[in-house]
Each structure stands twice: as C-alpha cells, then as structure tokens.
Amino acid sequence: MLSVLEVKRKLPNVFIDKLYENYTPLTVDKILAGMCGERSTTLRVNTIKSNVQEVMNILKQNGIKFERVPWYKDALILKNATEKQIQKLEIYEEGIIYLQSLSSMVPPLVLQPEKNEKVLDLTAAPGSKTTQMAAMMQNSGYILANELDALRCERLSYNINKQGAKIVEVNNGRGEIVGKQYERYFDKVLLDAPCSGEGRFLATDARTYRNWSERTVKELVKLQKKLLKSAYQALKPGGEMVYSTCTLNREENEMILEWAIQELEIELLDIELTIKNTVPAISENSEVKKALRILPSKETEGFFVAKLKKLSL
C-alpha cells in the first residue's frame, strides 16, 4: 500500500493541482488515500436468476467471506476473494452474479426504473447498469442499450444474454443522434457519460491514469453536452434522467449541470441514498448541490451522480 505522498508523486501533477483547486486539503488527502492500492472485489446478485440469500449461502460453502452493503441489499463486498477466483465459480459462469463496482451500481438505484417502463441506456457497454436495470424492472418493459463502439457492443450483447435480460435491445450507433430517432419516447434515460475516469485512478496501475490530460477533459466536455442534449430529446416531458460519470473534476460534472440548467428545461431532483464517503457538489447553484459525489476509497470508485427531470416539450 502506497502512502499519500507516494501517490502524489505518481499521478499527473496537473491532476493533483486541480484537486487542490476544487477540494479542501483534507478531502484531497481522502481522495489520494482512496487511490493508494487495490479496491475490494464487489458483486451484484442478478435477481432475474437468483436472490441474495442463495448467493450468500453458496459463497459460504466456498469459504468466501463477505459484507452486506447498507444501501443496496443485492450487493456484496468480498473479503477474501479476487475477481479471478470469483470468475471460476459456477454462479459467475451462469450469470447469477455480476462483478461490478459499488459506485457503478448507484446510477440505476437513483434512476429507479420500474416494471413496464421504456428506458434508454445511452452509453451502455459493457452492460453493468443495463442488466442491473433489467433486474430492477423484473425483466418487464423495454430497455434500449446504445453503444457506439462495435467491439464493446459485442461485449454488451454477451453480458445481456448471460444475465438473461430479455427486455433489452442493443443498438450500435452514435448516442448524439439517438434523441432525434426516439424523440420524447422514453420514460427514463440513463446517461453514464464517457469521461476522463479520474475516480478510477490507482497509483499502483499506470494504465488507469496514463492517458489523462487537460485536453482530453475539454474534448470529453463537448461530447458530454451533445449526449446530454440527445438524452433530453429522447425523454418524455415529465420523464427522469440520471447523468453520471466516474470522474472528479468540475468541468465534466457540476459545470455540465450548470450548463444544462441554462440550456434545457430541466430541474434537479434530490437523491434519496445515504452512502458513506460522499461530499457535496462544488457549485454556487443550489440545484446543482443536489447531486451526489462519491470519493474514491477501498470499497468505491470516485463517482458523480445527478437526477434530472424534463419540464417541457
């Protein structure tokens, strides 16, 4: 396990400087401590095929220790097993469980898709949240899972089939134009936007931060705005949308919401989830402050989640 000082030396200087611009020194230390070493293996029980009690019994039989997650009854934190070890289990092979970070489970929980609703997952691969939503909807309704990249689309289809999510249709296309194709069609939209991935940085793994740059952040902001407009267009009046990223900077999070409030007829909704290791959104706007920011930790990746409601045609 690295020290906070060692983490500072390994991660990009500009990234560290940005953290100190946006957060208190104490919060920066918390963030960097969450990037010191490997994160716990976490999983979600696929309730289309099983239930958490059955899965807990099977894990016990295999000598795997776990901890329940207070804010999500179908999630488990494993104490003595790696992802590779879990992938050898029959319950993994059969799609009864899905290896997924805890933070990644939050956006569907905030969106709360229900049975028989029409839901859009605008940037869906590899399908973690798509299959979670199908389970929450009890495999009843319709989900359009859109993905631009053809190879990632194949992985998305594989995971959907493995999880038995029969209500999902996969679309290989540009998210920016889905709104025009499905104008005012969906009850709910999930936009887990492509982002710079700062919340997933691990100082022990250069692959997690090697490609980060300020220029990349600026390019992603342009794409995020286009995708948010498309998501808004696809949403019915009165419909709800979740915007989320796994990054930490204001440009891709709070500033996107501040822009959206000015440009689109939306309001932000309160998030009714109590999760450890969160801090308020960084904004003067009281609406934007309703968003939820999860800091990186041993159990969670850094994440940002906001819930929006479409007010007009």
* Active-site amino acid positions: 246
| Helix ranges, the chain (H) | 4-10, 13-22, 25-33, 52-61, 83-86, 90-93, 106-111, 128-136, 150-162, 175-181, 214-234, 254-263
The first and second tokens of residue 284, run together, are 């003067």
Indicate the SS3 state at residue 312: coil
The first and second tokens of residue 108, run together, are 């569907």
CA atoms of 122 and 133, how far apart (whole Å): 13
Sign of the alpha-carbon torsion through 168, 173, 175, 180: negative
On the CB side of 130, CA atoms within 13 Å amount to 32
* Torsion angles phi and psi, residue 287, rounded to 5: -65, -50
Rounded to the nearest 5 degrees, what angle is found at the Cα of 289, between the Cα atoms of 288 and 291?
A: 75
CA atoms of 253 and 36, how far apart (whole Å): 24
